[in-house]
Structure 1
Amino acid sequence: MPHVESAGLRERKKQRTRQAIFAAALRLFAERGYDETTIADIAAAADVSPRTFFAYFPSKEDVIFAEIDDRLAEVQQRLARRASGETPLETIRQSVVEVMQALVTEQGEHGPVQVRLVLERPALQARALQRMHEAQQEVQQRIRELCPGLGEIEAVAIAGMAVGAMQSVVTHCRQGGLDPGTTRAALDRALAIVESGLRSVPALNEPIP
């Protein structure tokens, strides 16, 4: 038991350090500009060494996508947890709801900075597109594992709908500087639209054994 508790404590400490680096980076990008902010600046602001920075992020670009990377990882983990008696559609919905809540809770002042940087910089746009493609592929794989009877095209379409809808709405809300309550309402509406379409797929409505 002490070993498990120690491992959990280390993981929480790592997550706090990662969050501190992310927050420091976004604050400096907003205050000084992206090009003017160095990795050494970010490390100093987060009270870590540059070596520690690289232990968490391969590059300055990767910091910008830290939040969405974390949320997508959570979606994949949730989809991998098959609850007996729950339909695949219910599992997908709960996965998205949990991530929506985290996105709204954590958006703070960083959201508009993230969106502005990505929209202004072609290199970051390309990285965002690559991440979106990878995320859809990962979610597609998890959905097919969750629902083996699902066809390939159906899985591709479902992953695209779920990931694309959430990403588009979050970007829209953050670009417009909308408050958390309005953002959550917009995400709930997007989820309802996606869910309405997914109800037409029979395999998603059959309970997991």
Structure 2
Amino acid sequence: MDEERARPGLRERKKQRTRQAIATAALRLFAERGYEETTIADIAAAADIAPRTFFGYFPSKEDVVFAEIDDRLAEVSERLRRTPGETPMETIRRSIVDVLNAVVAEHAEYGAIQVALVLERPALRARALQRLTDAQDAIEALLRDLCPGIPEIDAVAASGIAVGGMQAVVAHCRREGYDPVSMRTALDRAVHVVEHGLVSVEALSRPSP
């Protein structure tokens, strides 16, 4: 029953497909023409939508670069909920693995250009830093809900380890051009390293009531 409620409806799936099509078209054009040379009208035409429709999904051309980051954070927020009898660590592991499956599959061909854009342009790098900070704050809040009474520093450190560690490995794999199998192996290892870093947080090992 919970899974049925969690499964998006037809309209929501259609919107998500359109959003992904816009993001993929944008990254392809950035790779082929260059970021500055690509206009929103170009992206809309490549995605087979009207330019005004673009703004129904993204506030600006800069935001489309971060579509995947925003989507994955939203997924984590949905999945990182208390499950009776399951320890927070088990919930975190399950949530991360589910989301990473989507990361490996998405934008495989244009992942490197996504990372390069952020590294090469100060404005995009600043946006990326703000998103990273926002993601850590969001995960920290979720951890507090997942583990009532967790010490403040434990929650801050745990969110930093989880978000920073996984983001760094994803960026590395895309920058270095890892194929999907190699990226999956690298991310599995990253999950292990992150989990090892979190085992000292006692609150994460207590089963939810």
Q: TM-score range by the shorter chain?
A: over 0.9
Deviation string 1:26-61 (CA, Å, 9 cap, x unpaired) is 111011000000001101111111110000000000
Q: Which residue number corresponds to residue 34 of structure 1?
A: 35
The Cα RMSD (Å) is 1.2
Runs of 4+ in structure 1 displaced over 3 angstroms?
none
Residue pair 2:24, 2:107 contacting (<8 A) in 1 also: no
Q: Percent identity?
A: 68
TM-score (structure 1 length as normaliser): 0.94
Q: Which residue number corresponds to residue 114 of structure 1?
A: 114
Deviation string 1:164-193 (CA, Å, 9 cap, x unpaired) is 000000111100001111111111111111
Return the alpha-carbon distance in structure 1 between the equivalents of residues 47 and 106 of structure 2.
Answer: 18
Q: Which residue number corresponds to residue 46 of structure 2?
A: 45
Gap regions ≥5 residues in structure 1: none
Deviation string 1:99-141 (CA, Å, 9 cap, x unpaired) is 1111111142120110011111111100000000000000000
AA partner of residue 125 (structure 2): Q
Q: Which residue number corresponds to residue 185 of structure 1?
A: 185
TM-score (structure 2 length as normaliser): 0.94
Q: Which residue number corresponds to residue 131 of structure 1?
A: 131
Return the alpha-carbon distance in structure 2 between the equivalents of residues 96 and 73 of structure 1.
Answer: 12
Q: Which residue number corresponds to residue 21 of structure 1?
A: 22
Return the alpha-carbon distance in structure 2 between the equivalents of residues 110 and 69 of structure 1.
Answer: 17
Q: Which residue number corresponds to residue 162 of structure 1?
A: 162
**Segment of structure 1 superposing worse, 104-113 or 160-169:** 104-113
For 2:9, what is the secondary structure of its paired residue? helix
Return the alpha-carbon distance in structure 1 between the equivalents of residues 116 and 201 of structure 2.
Answer: 37
* Between structures 1 and 2, the one with greater helix share: 1
Q: Which residue number corresponds to residue 153 of structure 1?
A: 153
